[in-house]
Amino acid sequence: MKIAVTFSTLSGNTALVANDLIEYLENKGHETKLFDAMNVDADQLKEYELVFFGSSTYGDGELNPITEIFLSTADQKNHNCNNTHFAFFSLGDSSYPIFSSSGTLSSERIAKMHGNIIEPILQIDGYPNQDTFQKCKQWAETILDQMK
């Protein structure tokens, strides 16, 4: 399957998860490409069957500025992604009242652009570690199973 992994990060943690995910998908034989949301146009993602989109949560439950710019630009261009499936993962800190909401906020915006959203959204608490990476791989398998 042709899969893009797109990430938006401020501290580098989302990039760590995205890189681990891309390695896992490549090892499973998928054709993959890694994109930093800061350097990709939403139209470039149309050629992929599945896009894993990761974003860190900013402040108390807000989209980080990079994700906001990516989604706003796509919306301004009237981006239509009706043939693309999206799965979201978000990083956050559960000590905040609104935990890891960037995945939900991003999925709502992509759904308005007619993207096909695959659930569940993976929420990652704190800094990525081996348990995080294992959880992400299990989640990716759930998403891939839904694509069959």
25-45 pLDDT, tens digit per residue, is: 999 999 999 999 999 999 899
Cα distances (Å, whole numbers) of residue 93 to 33, 37, 65, 126: 28, 21, 17, 5
User: Does the domain spanning 2-147 belong to CATH 3.40.50.360?
Assistant: yes
Average pLDDT over residues 38-66: 93
Which pLDDT belongs to residue 97?
A: 87
On the question of pLDDT at 17 being above 80, the answer is yes
The domain spans of the chain are 2-147
- Among 39, 45, 62, 37, smallest CA distance to 3 is for 45
On the question of pLDDT at 23 being above 90, the answer is yes
On the question of pLDDT at 121 being above 90, the answer is yes
Q: Quickly list DSSP for 27-88.
A: HTT-EEEEEEGGG--GGGGGG-SEEEEEEEEETTTEE-HHHHHHHHHHHHTT---TT-EEEE
Average pLDDT over residues 42-59: 94
Cβ atoms 67, 86 nearer than 8 A = no
Q: What percent of the chain has pLDDT over 70?
A: 100
Average pLDDT, the chain: 94
Cα-Cα-Cα-Cα torsion 130, 128, 72, 86, nearest 10 degrees, comes to: 20
Cβ atoms 57, 104 nearer than 8 A = no
